[in-house]
Chain A
């Protein structure tokens, strides 16, 4: 395997965008599992949604340039993400009022 030359990398290939999206998604998953602070968990979910959106936009531009269905899906993902953020933060606020903590380890009412 040889390193790609500079002219192979221009214009920016589809795989480069997919790599960035995969990195963003995996960092989001790691943060989702390992964060103790509930606000940081919500931020990790936003990171994951953005990673998926980069994927959709990359495919839309490189493989579906005329119909741009990827952009349509990206708009729906952004809409759902906004709704999720609002409801998630409201739930977090309600939890904080009842438990007086944002530590994920102490939200254990349904745990056995």
Chain B
């Protein structure tokens, strides 16, 4: 049996100070076991959510080793994959999200930092 991470589900919606102008974020992060990459991805998404989406997000972390059948349903091939179900349109962010935090020069100019988080 491969090592697994505890499933965080809808963890950190601490305050209910939801401003009506802020859209609700529904996020699912798929990882595979407790690889450094998985751990890094979980830490990154938590950090982003706390910093930017405080109070109006819903995050589920799914370990594919524990629930392999979910991979087919959400069309997962690469891990980690973060799916932004809401707000529309649907987005898939592939990778451990380090680039989203770092100001990464490899990202194209027209894709500003954390685009996927912005409401568009």
A and B part of one assembly: no
B binding-site residues for A, Cβ under 8 Å: none
